[in-house]
Amino acid sequence: MVAMKIPTSHFHSLPLLLATVAIPFLLPALSPAQTAARPSVAAARADKVVNTQPVKARVWYVPADAPDPATAKRKFWDATLIGRTTRQIAFAPDPNNKSLPARMDCETIVGVDFEIKYERFEVVRAMAKNDWATAIRILSAAHAPFYPYLDLPENNAADGVMELGTTMMKFAKRTLRNAKDDEARAAAARQFEAAYKVFQQCAKARWSSIGMLASLKGCHCLVAMGPENVKDAARRVEKMEEPMPGDDTFGHYWLLRAEIAQIQGDVTNAMDAAVKSLAFENKDVETFPDALLISADCYEKLGEPFRARDVYFEVAKLFPRTDWGDDALSRLETLMASGKTRKKETTTTESSFFGLEEDMNKLADDLIQERKSAKPVFYGDDEQESEVVDRSAAKSDD
């Protein structure tokens, strides 16, 4: 055996070293049973009930002892939810129902019908008057109490929370559009942040496409909050599973990728993503016009002014008296004033074959003049959106 030599300078630390080595051996050993009986800190936290605002609901469940949960008959409790852990929900005691359990395992729940009370007419009326603050206040008061339970399957509150977040996002877009100074733009950023937080809550609904849609809209809010958030949003989108054509999230997914690529100056990928969003078969009014505008912007940057002109014209024609139509008309007017489309366009095989020899410059000029001389018509946002849906559907049928 080779003797270990310890430098004299280290002798003063030797007692501490020996004590440190000896401590584990001096502690009393725990038996396997004692070790198993001692709950971990994480488990203790998971079992701790976090109290919430009481909400009434009918909770549908499959008995835990059912031989085949897939075919078992569903049962329900009419109860008041007062809190939850990560794995259970807690019920308030019901003097009229002594059999009601204090807690229920979330994994046995198959549906929840919350008692949602608010005046829908008041929201519609506020939106018709462009009174965004009132509409948001009503929707928030009605749906915020359900945030802690949105992960429960097939609950009826997720759609309402999605509506709340979407309304807040629209309000933020309108604020940003009308912003004239840094203070107004900062106010819009705060509104986008508030909408983002609502979408974060809604993203818990992973039991349906609502969860992913909320995540996508949340990323859109991140992008709108400022350029410093674009990379974060891009990373989140990269981690998402690409939706299939026909999925409710397909148009939103590719629109978001187009927006991010556009901001990053990646025109080719922005165009590619915008075209994929446009291929969304349902022509979702929340994505279709924005994807068209991005594609037109990409055409301009790719040196295709004629194609950009045609797309701006179609958006302005399809969606009058909307923010999309106004933006398209403004960009169309700027493009026409630049003179880039005044030279004769090369005739394509398709236009010759189908007889599509219209003078698009004249049509664009006429539309600009028509809109300038038209009397303003004021629409509430619900009326605007209904008209956009009708026009988009008619265009698809054509």
Average pLDDT, the chain: 84
What single-letter DSSP state applies at residue 155?
Answer: B
End-to-end CA distance of the chain: 94
- Give the least confident one: 63-72, 75-84, 214-223, 295-304: 63-72
pLDDT for residue 68: 80
- Give the least confident one: 41-45, 254-258, 314-318, 330-334: 41-45
pLDDT: which is higher, 34 or 111 = 111
pLDDT for residue 40: 60
Q: How confident is the model at residue 54 (pLDDT cuts 50, 70, 90)?
A: very high
Is the per-residue pLDDT at 266 higher than 70? yes
Is the per-residue pLDDT at 268 higher than 50? yes
Is the per-residue pLDDT at 115 higher than 80? yes
Q: How confident is the model at residue 300 (pLDDT cuts 50, 70, 90)?
A: very high
pLDDT for residue 245: 87
Phi and psi of 254, rounded to 5°? Answer: -75, -30
CA separation, residue 72 to residues 104, 163, 372 (Å): 17, 34, 65
pLDDT for residue 396: 43
- Give the least confident one: 73-77, 236-240, 312-316, 392-396: 392-396
Give the C-alpha separation, 75 to 354, whole Å.
62
Closest to 310 in 3D by CA, of 292, 289, 330: 292
Architecture of domain 244-398: Alpha Horseshoe (1.25)
In the beta sheet, which residues pair with residue 55?
81
- Report residue 23 as tokens: 């401590």
Average pLDDT over residues 297-301: 97
The pLDDT tens digits for 169-207 are 999 999 999 999 999 999 999 999 999 999 999 999 999
Say if residues 312 and 328 touch (Cβ distance below 8 Å): yes
Percentage of the chain beyond pLDDT 90 is 69
Q: Give the strand order in the sheet containing 75-84.
A: 103-105, 88-91, 75-84, 50-61, 109-114
The pLDDT tens digits for 120-168 are 999 999 999 989 999 999 999 999 999 999 999 999 999 999 999 999 9
- CA 75 to chain CA centroid, Å, is 33
What single-letter DSSP state applies at residue 77?
Answer: E
Residue boundaries of the structural domains of the chain: 46-114, 117-241, 244-398
**Collapsed DSSP state (helix, strand, coil) of residue 215:** helix
In the beta sheet, which residues pair with residue 113?
58
Q: What is the pTM of this model?
A: 0.79
pLDDT for residue 182: 94
pLDDT: which is higher, 325 or 70 = 325
Would residue 321 be called left, alpha or beta, if left means φ above 0 and alpha means ψ between -120 and 50 degrees? left
pLDDT for residue 398: 46
- Report residue 352 as tokens: 């010759």
Average pLDDT over residues 345-352: 55
pLDDT for residue 330: 95
pLDDT for residue 334: 96
Residues in the chain, overall count: 398
Say if residues 237 and 220 touch (Cβ distance below 8 Å): no
The pLDDT tens digits for 15-49 are 333 333 333 333 344 444 444 545 565 555 667 88
Give the burial string for 71-96 (b: 16+ CB within 10 Å, else e): eeeeeebebebbbbbeebbbbeeeee
pLDDT for residue 343: 81
Average pLDDT over residues 225-239: 94
For residue 249, the tally of other CB atoms under 10 A from its CB is 25
Give the C-alpha separation, 292 to 298, whole Å.
10
Is the per-residue pLDDT at 5 higher than 50? no
In the beta sheet, which residues pair with residue 76?
60
